[in-house]
Amino acid sequence: MTRTGKEETSPSLPAGPGGDRFAGLIEEHQRRVYALALRLTGNAAAADDITQETFIAVWKHLESFRGDSSLKTWLLRIAANKVRSYWRWKKLRSWAGLGREEAEEDAPALEDLIPDRPGSRPEAAALAADMERRVQAAISLLPPRQREVAVLRAQELSIAEIAVTLGMAEGTVKANWFEARKKLTGLLGEYL
Amino acid sequence: MKDEEIVKKLAPLLAVRRPEEFWRRQKKNIIGAAPGHSTVSGTWLLVPAAAAAALVIFLAREPRGPAPEARAVSPAFLEHLDLLSDMDVLEAVPEKEL
C-alpha cells in the first residue's frame, strides 16, 4: 500500500511542519518513546535503536491501528515490547557466553548531555550527568514490572493507560506502582 | 505525599534531556530508515552485494572445454628413440629404398 493510503486510514496523525505526517508523529512522540526505552534499558545506544524500531513498526502497521487505544498508548506498547525483546536478547547472549562489559555503552555520550548553552556547558553537563546516573541507578534497582509501571507513571499515564500499554490488569499495575513508588521515594528522596 | 504529587516530581526527573540537535538527528535517521523512503545512503549497500553476485556467477559458470592436454609420450616411443640413437639410421633402411 502506498504512503498516501496509510495516511488516509490514520486521520488522527498529527501533521508536521512540512506537511509530512510521519515526521510530525515522530516529533510529537520521540522524546516519550526514547525516555521509556532509555529508562528501561539504561543503555543509550539500545534506546536509540528501540526508538527507531518503534517508529518503523508504526510506519509499517499504521493501517492495522484501529484506534481502540490512543496513538500514544499504542506507540508506548510497541516500545515496551521492543524493550522486553531487548532483555530477552541480552539474556540469550549472556547464556551463550557472548555477553560483555557494557559500562561504557550504557553511559550516554557526553555531547548528548550538554545543553545548547555554550556558557554553562561544563557545570550543566556535570550536574546533568550526576542526576542522570542517580535516577538511572534508582530505576535500574526496581524489578522489571515495577520499572515499567514507574517509568510510564512518570510519563503521566493513568493506571488504566498503563494497564493497556503493558497488557496488565489494573490491579497489577496499582500493586506494582505502590511498590515502585515506595522504593523510589527512598532512593531519590532528595529529589522528591 | 499524595500520589499525584509524586508523579509531578518524578516526571521531570525521569524525562530525558537532550539538545535539539539530538532529536533532529534521531528524526532524520528514523525517516531515512522507514521503508519507502529511498535514500542514497542505503543504495551503496547494493554495490558489494552486486559484486559478490557477479563473482559467484563467474566462478560457477560452465567451463568452455577441457584445456588441451599435453600429448602423452608412451614408453614405446621412448624406446624407439633410444634404438634410433644407438643404431646407424642408414643401416636400418632396406637396400631397395636406397
- For residue B51, the model assigns a pLDDT of 78
Q: Using CB atoms within 10 A of its CB, is residue A106 exposed (0-12), middle (13-18) or buried (19+)?
A: middle
Average pLDDT per block of 10 residues along chain A, 192 residues long: 41 50 91 95 94 94 79 94 94 79 48 50 78 89 96 95 96 96 90 78
Q: Do B14 and A52 touch (CB under 8 A)?
A: no
How many residues are given for chain A? 192
Give the pLDDT confidence score for residue A96 in this predicted structure.
81
Q: Tell if the CB–CB gap between A181 and B9 is shorter than 8 Å.
A: no
Q: What residues in A contact B9, CB-CB < 8 Å?
A: 191-192
Chain B closest-CA separation from residue A53 CA (Å): 8
Whole-model pTM: value is 0.66
In DSSP notation, A35-99 reads HHHHHHH--HHHHHHHHHHHHHHHHHHGGG--SSS-HHHHHHHHHHHHHHHHHHHHHHHHHTT--
Are the CB atoms for A80 and A72 separated by under 8 Å?
no
Q: Which residues of chain B have pLDDT under 70?
A: 1, 37-48, 62-72, 81-98
d(CA A146, CA A183): 10
C-alpha cell at A19: 506537511
A28 CB within 8 Å of a chain B CB: no
A contact residues 71-100, partner B, Cβ 8 Å cutoff: none
Chain B residue numbers touching A56 (CB-CB < 8 A):
30, 33-35
Distance from CA of A192 to the nearest CA of B (A): 6
Which of B17, B27, B35 is the closest to A30 by Cβ? B27
Whether ipTM tops 0.85, in short, is no
CB contact under 8 A, B34 and A56: yes
What pLDDT was estimated at residue B76?
Answer: 78
